[in-house]
């Protein structure tokens, strides 16, 4: 019975906050590296038949040299342990224009490594110690229609086991929509019973869908929406009925949310005391902590001892302290609801005359620049 590790959304190169390590590196980038290293540590120690990565190995289209070198180092560790590695591209690392090229080309000539990034379905036969496993890889596509076409081409026939690997949001399932740039939908009927296992990526929390499909979730936390979710990867036995799925933790850095404190009409000293108590209740060494204090007037904000509040977070790695005035609250309530950057730009473009120009080409070029700007901002 073949055994695989399913990992996803490692987002190598991700940076956040200003905290640096003793080596001068962004602490959160190191955290994401450490999480992926723990996956590889487990693979090297336990020797699964293969490792399947279902997208967003990197955080941006153009990762730093440091992120690239780290990824290659970990993949080569799998090579030395004779553990095949299959990865599909996700929305974070896939360029909006074909001529941009993919960072996944670095894997093209590595034995035992199969990277699917050209926008087309590939049936990848993987020779393992337990026999052949066919991975049906459907990478990120430029358009939803192209992605649907490639998913429809995937055909699990012949000797098994068969594994589908894809990155996107399964349609018709509540709570999965992420709303990111380049996000693709996976039609629910693509989750076919003929597959021995379906390795899904993009949604950052672990979820099991039906008999044979699962999101592994991300290996580290990228937002407070993931604060209560365990981060890790999946250890999966396939080939005999329903897959046997076990969750393996990566010991991600904790996030603790102290909630929203409505301080409307409260004096500054009372606000400091209440905010400090809320932070002390959730403080944890090395954690990322958040507290929103709303309903303040500008004079009260000026009178607050914000440093006293910050000290209450104690040994936290980072405190996201938000002091919001009445004006900010009103502005927040008056803002229109926005969609993804991709959708907002498409709506903007639809209302503009483009005489003599190829509208689709203009959209592709502009969105590639927007994506590049997002990547530069993250870096």
State whether 311 and 164 are in the same domain: no
State whether 245 and 260 are in the same domain: no
State whether 29 and 113 are in the same domain: yes
User: What's the whole-number mean pLDDT along residues 253-264?
Assistant: 96
Percentage of the chain exceeding pLDDT 70: 85
Q: How far apart are alpha carbons 365 and 142 in whole angstroms?
A: 12
Residue 261: enclosing H or E segment and its boundaries?
strand 255-262
Q: How far apart are alpha carbons 147 and 128 in whole angstroms?
A: 29
pLDDT tens column, 223-253 = 998 999 999 999 999 988 899 999 999 999 9
State whether 283 and 299 are in the same domain: yes
The pLDDT value recorded for residue 352 is: 58
Say if 158 falls within a structural domain: yes
| Domain tally, the chain | 2
The alpha carbon dihedral of 62, 64, 67, 70 has a sign of positive
The pLDDT value recorded for residue 368 is: 62
Is 284 exposed, middle or buried, given 0-12, 13-18 or 19+ CB atoms closer than 10 A? middle
Q: How far apart are alpha carbons 71 and 57 in whole angstroms?
A: 8
pLDDT surpasses 80 at 371 = no
pLDDT tens column, 181-226 = 789 999 999 999 999 999 999 999 999 999 999 999 999 999 998 9
pLDDT tens column, 57-100 = 999 999 999 999 999 999 999 999 999 999 999 999 988 776 77
pLDDT tens column, 280-308 = 999 899 999 999 999 999 999 999 999 99
The alpha carbon dihedral of 192, 237, 162, 104 has a sign of positive
Q: How far apart are alpha carbons 379 and 375 in whole angstroms?
A: 6
pLDDT surpasses 50 at 379 = no
Q: How confident is the model at residue 160 (pLDDT cuts 50, 70, 90)?
A: confident
State whether 264 and 193 are in the same domain: no
Say if 266 falls within a structural domain: yes
Q: How confident is the model at residue 334 (pLDDT cuts 50, 70, 90)?
A: very low
Say if 267 falls within a structural domain: yes
pTM over 0.75: yes
State whether 146 and 264 are in the same domain: no
Say if 349 falls within a structural domain: no
Residue ranges in the chain assigned as alpha helix (H): 27-46, 65-80, 144-153, 268-282, 298-303, 306-311, 326-334, 341-350, 359-378
Mean residue pLDDT of the chain comes to: 89
Residues near 58 by Cβ (< 8 Å), separated by ≥ 6? 11, 12, 13, 67, 71, 92, 93, 103
State whether 85 and 142 are in the same domain: yes
Say if 310 falls within a structural domain: yes
Q: Residue 118 maps to which CATH number?
A: 3.60.21.10
Give the structural domain span for 130.
3-249
Say if 370 falls within a structural domain: no
State whether 156 and 295 are in the same domain: no
State whether 173 and 216 are in the same domain: yes
The pLDDT value recorded for residue 349 is: 60
């Amino acid at each position: 019975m073949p055994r695989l590790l399913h990992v996803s959304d490692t987002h190598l190169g991700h940076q956040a906050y200003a905290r640096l390590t003793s080596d001068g590196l962004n602490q959160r980038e190191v955290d994401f590296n450490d999480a992926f290293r723990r996956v590889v540590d487990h693979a090297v120690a336990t020797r699964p038949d293969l490792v399947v990565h279902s997208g967003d190995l990197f955080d941006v289209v153009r990762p730093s040299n440091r992120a690239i070198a780290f990824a290659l180092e970990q993949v080569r560790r799998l090579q030395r342990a004779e553990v095949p590695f299959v990865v599909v591209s996700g929305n974070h690392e896939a360029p909006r224009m074909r001529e941009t090229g993919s960072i996944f080309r670095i894997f093209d000539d590595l034995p035992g490594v199969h990277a699917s990034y050209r926008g087309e379905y590939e049936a990848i036969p993987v020779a393992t110690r337990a026999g052949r496993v066919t991975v049906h890889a459907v990478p990120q596509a430029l358009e939803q229609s192209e992605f649907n076409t490639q998913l429809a081409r995937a055909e699990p026939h012949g000797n098994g086991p068969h594994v589908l690997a894809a990155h996107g949001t399964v349609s018709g399932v509540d709570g999965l929509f992420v709303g990111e740039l380049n996000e693709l939908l996976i039609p629910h009927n693509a989750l076919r019973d003929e597959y021995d296992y379906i390795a899904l990526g993009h949604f950052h929390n672990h979820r099991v869908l039906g008999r044979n499909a699962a999101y592994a979730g991300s290996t580290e936390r990228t937002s407070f929406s993931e604060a209560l979710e365990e981060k890790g990867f999946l250890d999966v036995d396939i080939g005999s009925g329903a897959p046997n799925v076990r969750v393996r933790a990566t010991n991600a850095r904790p996030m603790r949310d102290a909630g929203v404190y409505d301080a409307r009409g409260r004096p500054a000293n009372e606000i400091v005391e209440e905010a400090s108590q809320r932070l002390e209740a959730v403080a944890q060494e090395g954690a990322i902590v958040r507290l929103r204090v709303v309903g303040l007037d500008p004079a009260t904000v000026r009178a607050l001892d914000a440093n006293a509040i910050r000290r209450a977070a104690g040994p936290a790695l980072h405190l996201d302290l938000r002091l919001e005035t009445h004006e900010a609250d009103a502005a927040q309530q008056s803002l229109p609801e926005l969609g993804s950057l991709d959708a907002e730009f498409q709506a903007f473009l639809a209302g503009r005359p483009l005489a003599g120009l190829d509208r689709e080409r203009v959209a592709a070029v502009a969105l590639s620049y927007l994506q590049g700007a997002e990547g530069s901002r993250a870096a």
